[in-house]
Structure 1
Amino acid sequence: MIMIKGIGVDICDIRKLKGAIERNKNFLNRVFSEREIKYCKTKKNSIIHFAGRFAAKEAFIKAVSNKKIKLKEIETINDKSGRPDIRLTKVIKLNLKKKNANRINLSISHTDSTAVAVCIIL
């Protein structure tokens, strides 16, 4: 039987995130990896994709119950089929392994005004 080790959900207000990015020139580089920035900037409405990835990072932090994790330590990528996935630093991976957490399931969705992410750690 697979046991759930953690669940996290986050909702991101796209307008607020856009304001944070416009006010702070370093925001993107502080929160997102180069790969995430490049991916989002290739999209027609990049802010929606940044918001989804931001929500995914926050949902992961909630799922592992560790507020000490920095957002940039979590990278949201897409697998070969286009599904969102999470890439972590070695330290975070090791901590998850100690908790017998072997899999991370991630879902991201958005409207024009909000993005939501759910992260389940198994």
Structure 2
Amino acid sequence: MIIGVGIDVAEIDRFGVSMRRTPGMAERLFVERELYLPSGERRGTASLAARFAAKEALAKALGAPAGLLWTDAEVVTEDSGQPRLVVSGTVAARAELLGVRSWHVSLSHDAGVASAVVIAEG
């Protein structure tokens, strides 16, 4: 049973400007594993914008309640390249309250826009 669906878009250049202009923003939005590739290289702006869009879409799928922490939702990449959500803390508590047992996430970025769709399933 589908409990919630969320979609979000982020303009990549605008997101990049915000990240450069606001010290500490990256650490408030992302956990270290999201910021860096396994090689230790920092992820590009398009990839981070898509991850941010996924977190926004996740919040929408949960009904956009107040109090969710950005770092309590992590977008990880499987060896296959498929994105997956890992939730903890405030996000996990809200998901449990709603009966969410699994997540589906899709990310994309093209033509200057990053997008994400999240489905919460019970």
Match of residue 9 from structure 2 = 11
2:52 matches 1:54: yes
Give structure 2 stretches of 5+ with no counterpart.
none
Larger proportion of strand = 2
Note the 1:102-117 alignment, pairs <5 A: 102-117=101-116
Q: Could you tell me which amino acid in structure 1 is paired with residue 88 of structure 2?
A: T
Larger proportion of helix = 1
Match of residue 41 from structure 2 = 42
Q: Deviations over 1:74-95 (max 9, x none)?
A: 1110123221111111453243
Other structure's SS at 2:36 match:
helix
Seen in structure 2, the aligned counterparts of structure 1 residues 82 and 26 have a Cα distance that, compared at 3 Å, is same
**How far did 1:96 drift?**
1.8
Provide the C-alpha distance between the structure 2 equivalents of 1:115 and 1:54, rounded to a whole number of angstroms: 9
Q: Deviations over 1:13-45 (max 9, x none)?
A: 1111111011012111111101111129737x7
Q: Could you tell me which amino acid in structure 2 is paired with residue 51 of structure 1?
A: A
Provide the C-alpha distance between the structure 1 equivalents of 2:91 and 2:117, rounded to a whole number of angstroms: 18
**How far did 1:100 drift?**
2.1
Provide the C-alpha distance between the structure 2 equivalents of 1:107 and 1:67, rounded to a whole number of angstroms: 24
Match of residue 74 from structure 1 = 73
State the Cα RMSD in Å. 1.9
Q: How many residues get paired?
A: 119
**How far did 1:70 drift?**
1.7
Match of residue 28 from structure 2 = 30
